[in-house]
């Protein structure tokens, strides 16, 4: 009986110490310093087309921008309230940046990125397809002043 308790205690202690050797997952909790908020108004009857363009065309492009360290993140939001035909915008995209210099020429190599994520798609066609589905109402850049976590 004593041998059984000894082995149980040894396994428990060994498991504890082995568990402490596994590094804890690190998360980057540093918030981006700048965000660019782009307010979009979908063309009449083109909401589904606009969302398709964002999800299938722009999202992969932004994923590549993240891989290249050009932006921290990209998000697409839909306006819930207020709503109605008088609203100036229906959607907003938010791009997060760590440095202001990343905002100065964010699409300087768009032709190369497009070729990588959408082979054969020309920049003019990409922009034209986007502009047929929505209008950019306004774009704002916000700077982080403070936060609490």
State the CATH number of the domain containing residue 115: 3.30.70.100
Phi, psi of 88 (to 5 degrees): -75, -25
Q: Assess whether pLDDT exceeds 70 at residue 15.
A: no
Q: What is the pLDDT of residue 18?
A: 44
Would 5 be classed as within a structural domain?
no
pTM, 2 dp = 0.76
Identity of the highest mean pLDDT range in 29-38, 106-115, 124-133: 124-133
Q: How many residues does the chain have?
A: 149
- Whether 100 is covered by a domain: the verdict is yes
Per the CB < 8 A criterion, the answer to whether 34 and 83 are in contact is: no
- pLDDT band of 2, cuts 50, 70, 90: low
Q: What is the pLDDT of residue 29?
A: 59
Q: Is residue 28 part of a domain?
A: no
Q: How far apart are CA 136 and CA 90, in angstroms?
A: 10
Task: Count the domains in the chain.
Answer: 1
pLDDT at 110: 92
| Cα distance between residue 3 and residue 15, in whole Å | 18
- Is residue 17 assigned to a domain? no
The answer as to whether 23 is a domain residue is no
Query: Is the separation of the CB atoms in 114 and 121 below 8 Å?
Result: yes
Please report the DSSP string for 19-66 in residue order.
Answer: HHHSPPPP---PPPSEEEEEEEEEPTT-HHHHHHHIIIIIHHHHHHHH
What is the pLDDT averaged over residues 123-135? 96
Nearest to 126 by CA among 74, 54, 63: 54
Is residue 122 domain-resident? yes
For 33-64, the pLDDT digits (tens) are 999 999 999 999 999 999 999 999 999 999 99
**Domain around 42:** 34-143
Q: 91 in a domain, yes or no? A: yes
| Residue 75 domain-assigned (yes or no) | yes
């Amino acid at each position: 009986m004593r041998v059984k308790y000894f082995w149980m205690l040894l396994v428990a202690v060994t498991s504890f110490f082995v568990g402490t050797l596994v590094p804890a997952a690190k998360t980057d909790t540093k918030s981006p310093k700048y965000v660019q908020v782009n307010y979009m108004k979908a063309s009449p009857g083109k909401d589904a087309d606009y969302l398709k363009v964002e999800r299938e065309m722009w999202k992969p492009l932004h994923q590549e921008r993240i891989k290249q360290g050009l932006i921290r993140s990209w998000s697409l939001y839909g306006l819930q309230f207020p709503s109605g035909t008088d609203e100036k915008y229906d959607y907003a995209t938010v791009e997060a940046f760590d440095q202001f210099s990343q905002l100065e020429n964010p699409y300087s190599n768009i032709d190369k990125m497009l070729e990588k994520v959408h082979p054969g798609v020309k920049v003019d066609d990409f922009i034209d397809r986007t502009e047929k589905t929505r209008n950019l109402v306004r774009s704002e850049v916000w700077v982080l002043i403070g936060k609490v976590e």
